[in-house]
Structure 1
Amino acid sequence: MTIELGISTFGETTPLEKTGKAINHDERIRNLLEEIILADKVGIDAFAIGEHHRKDFAVSAPEIVLAMGAARTKQIHLSSATTNLPTINPIRVYEQYATIDAIAPGRVEIMAGRGSFTEAFDLFGYDLDNYDALFKEKLEMLLKINNNEILDWSKGNFTPAVDHIGIYPRAKKPLPISLATGGNINSTIRAAELGLPIVYAIIGGKITDFKPLIQLYRVVAEKTDHNLGKMPVAAHSWGWLSDDNEKAIKEYFYPTKLLVDTISKERPQWNGMTYDQYLESIGSDGVIFVGDAETVANKIIKMMETLGLKRFYLHLPIASMPHEDTMEAIEIYGKEVVPRVKDYFKNKSKLNDFSIKWKER
């Protein structure tokens, strides 16, 4: 399996450091389309867009933005990050992404998740107490739709019965579906038992903290007779790039602290971010990727090797940054970071192949 390097985003609309004002939602969405087009042009493998229903994120309907991107790109893979299944109809999810697949055949993926924020439960009339049960039932329904043109579905606790009805349009083959998690053990086991690729949101702590979870994923997958070769493990982590290492570090502190401090007000288990904590997070063992091309590439290699990852999404940016700076960071990532990382693993693979052949002589 080849290495895949992508970008993820939520279409952030937080205040900019220089102006103290947030970008308008409509402007951020237009900027986001330009970012997708550039990512495709500079050779980035994937672009993933998350779903949120709050003022500080512009994207509530990632499938629409992805469809616009699909029509304007040639090779980049396009994914949600995530589609929040508990508060959406699985039939509509399949129909939407199958429609995008018609525009960009073989380039579309559904990254299913439970959602890191909970505002959609009240917004769409769901009980937060059913957070996990909703996801489990709707994921099962989505997987069945993906593999069956004609749907037979018994009435569930949260979904109505469907009696032998076709779901259209159909993708030419089942759409890739992965499961995203922030590190929940039950989500890890569920993905492994279902044979689904998994994407970990690794945004805090140290790189090695996720190693036991990923090992659990692989053990469960093997015990349930799934092919790990078709189940790439991925990570999504925050990051920022500049042509100057110190400049990148200085630029990224404000938006990172802004986001962490905002979330800390909503979640008691989070604390505000100090500058020392920020430096630790962007250090060699931390999980935020900030710096010049060489620094970020080396750290991505370290994470991918340590955790056995086949896919990596750099979340760029995590809070609002000037559009022109974001475009520059995407260009550095595509033209310098992606080739460095791929060349490293390509050369490593050749060396391993040579060693195996030498031992067989």
Structure 2
Amino acid sequence: MIELGIGMFGDVQIDPTTGKIQPAAERMQQIVAEVKLMDEVGVDFFGIGEHHREDYAVASPEIILAAAATITKNIKLGSAVSVLSSADPVKLFQDFATVDLLSNGRAELMAGRGSFIESFPLFGYDLKDYADLFDEKLELLTRLNKQDTITWSGKFRKPLINQQIFPRPVNNSLPIWVAVGGTTSSVIRAARLGLPVMFAIIGGAPENFKPLFEMYQQAWVDNGHDMKDFQVGVHMHAFFGENAKTVADKYYPIYAGQMNRIGASRGWPPYQRSQYDFGRSIHGHLIVGDVNQAVEQILHTIEMFGLTRFSAHMDVGSPDHTDMMKSIELYGTQIIPKVKEALKKAE
């Protein structure tokens, strides 16, 4: 059965006139309240990202997830993503095992290389090792997840010799996902390791990703994994309101502002309303509108790729907390049930 959840990066509000930045403490408290509501309205999972910048509130997803674990009952709690390349896999595994124990088995870990690079100098890593760091650390993380006692050696950390890792998660292992952008090497690596993949589709036309999905499925089979264990998802920018035009017009300056802040450091041209409007079409990557529009676009995406999971990235630019709560409410009480009912009828 399809899982529908919400991803966040912990964006803080930035006043477009004064440049004043929302205190991280305020945004963190809002996030915890938002996750509590997600649980109450039936959202399947929540993922929070890791960033080390002034415009994002969350540097340690596992701490936010631990807080959320104590006030939720059913929702799965994961990172989206943990920047594995600049983390210690042993400590990361222990931290998520702790969240798993606090939440009675609801923790997940999503590993990624990270599209921002601030964590590399912060934790003493060289960007020239960007790819090798991820390969080695993902291999170690998957070993830790399978073995109580481990002997291991690599290039970037001292060896582990007959080392026991505590605490262990509820079922002795964690669900580990890999987040990928658009590279074939990332897709094939995940398939080889038998790990589920979350594709970040945050620009252009989603249909352009179809070859990567097909490649992942073929590599999964070629590496001897059973299709009954096959899981694949997408992460897409989304926001919901009662009226499609009203929510789109209100959200546009917030979304464009964040795109331009990120784009300024990456050489992107100024974000245009035409990009936004195309993104909101059935062929686009933005799911911003009312309930019916969201249901149609989510179903289209699920069917296009054969998804088992859909993640609505809902806090790009940090909309007002009240509007966030309304978006979450609509998603949980109306959009998710309608999507699941439509898929059930189509079986």
Same fold by TM-score, threshold 0.5 exceeded? yes
TM-score, length-scaled by structure 2: 0.97
Alignment of 1:1-361 (within 5 A): 2-16=1-15, 21-154=20-153, 156-171=154-169, 172-268=171-267, 270-349=268-347
2:155 aligned counterpart, secondary structure: coil
Q: Distance in 1 between matches of 2:22 and 2:307?
A: 34
**For 1:115-135, what per-residue CA distance to the aligned partner results, in whole angstroms no more than 9, with x for missing partners?**
110011111110001001000
Against the structure 1 CA distance between its residues 244 and 20, is the aligned structure 2 distance closer, same or farther, given a 3 Å change threshold? farther
Q: Distance in 2 between matches of 1:217 and 1:285?
A: 22
1:15 aligned counterpart, secondary structure: coil
Q: Distance in 2 between matches of 1:97 and 1:5?
A: 21
Against the structure 1 CA distance between its residues 72 and 19, is the aligned structure 2 distance closer, same or farther, given a 3 Å change threshold? farther
**Contact 1:16 / 1:22 at 8 angstroms: preserved in 2?**
yes
Shift of 1:17: 5.8
2:174 aligned counterpart, secondary structure: coil
Unaligned runs of 5+ in 1: 350-361
C-alpha RMSD of the superposition? 1.2
**Contact 1:83 / 1:111 at 8 angstroms: preserved in 2?**
yes
**Contact 1:51 / 1:59 at 8 angstroms: preserved in 2?**
yes
Percent identity of equivalent pairs: 39
**For 1:179-226, what per-residue CA distance to the aligned partner results, in whole angstroms no more than 9, with x for missing partners?**
001122110110111110000010001121111100000011111111
Shift of 1:173: 2.7
Q: Distance in 1 between matches of 2:100 and 2:35?
A: 16
Shift of 1:106: 2.5
Q: Distance in 2 between matches of 1:266 and 1:14?
A: 19
User: Which residue pairs with 1:359 in the alignment?
Assistant: none
Which letter maps to 2:165? I
Any runs of at least 4 consecutive aligned residues in structure 1 with deviations exceeding 4 A, and if so which? 16-20
1:116 aligned counterpart, secondary structure: coil
**For 1:327-352, what per-residue CA distance to the aligned partner results, in whole angstroms no more than 9, with x for missing partners?**
11100110010001110111111xxx
**For 1:115-167, what per-residue CA distance to the aligned partner results, in whole angstroms no more than 9, with x for missing partners?**
1100111111100010010000001111111111111112x110210110110
- Mean CA deviation greater in 224-233 or 142-151: 224-233
Shift of 1:20: 5.9
Q: Distance in 1 between matches of 2:213 and 2:35?
A: 30
Q: Distance in 2 between matches of 1:16 and 1:252?
A: 14
1:175 aligned counterpart, secondary structure: coil
Residues matched between the structures, number: 346
Which letter maps to 1:219? Q
**For 1:232-255, what per-residue CA distance to the aligned partner results, in whole angstroms no more than 9, with x for missing partners?**
110001011111111111012112
Which letter maps to 2:272? T
Which letter maps to 2:252? F
Shift of 1:70: 0.7
Q: Distance in 2 between matches of 1:196 and 1:16?
A: 40
2:70 aligned counterpart, secondary structure: helix
Shift of 1:19: 7.9
Q: Distance in 1 between matches of 2:17 and 2:247?
A: 15
TM-score, length-scaled by structure 1: 0.94
Shift of 1:229: 2.3
User: Which residue pairs with 1:354 in the alignment?
Assistant: none
Q: Distance in 1 between matches of 2:13 and 2:186?
A: 30
Shift of 1:170: 0.7
**Contact 1:83 / 1:110 at 8 angstroms: preserved in 2?**
yes
Shift of 1:228: 2.7
Q: Distance in 2 between matches of 1:261 and 1:112?
A: 26
Shift of 1:107: 1.0
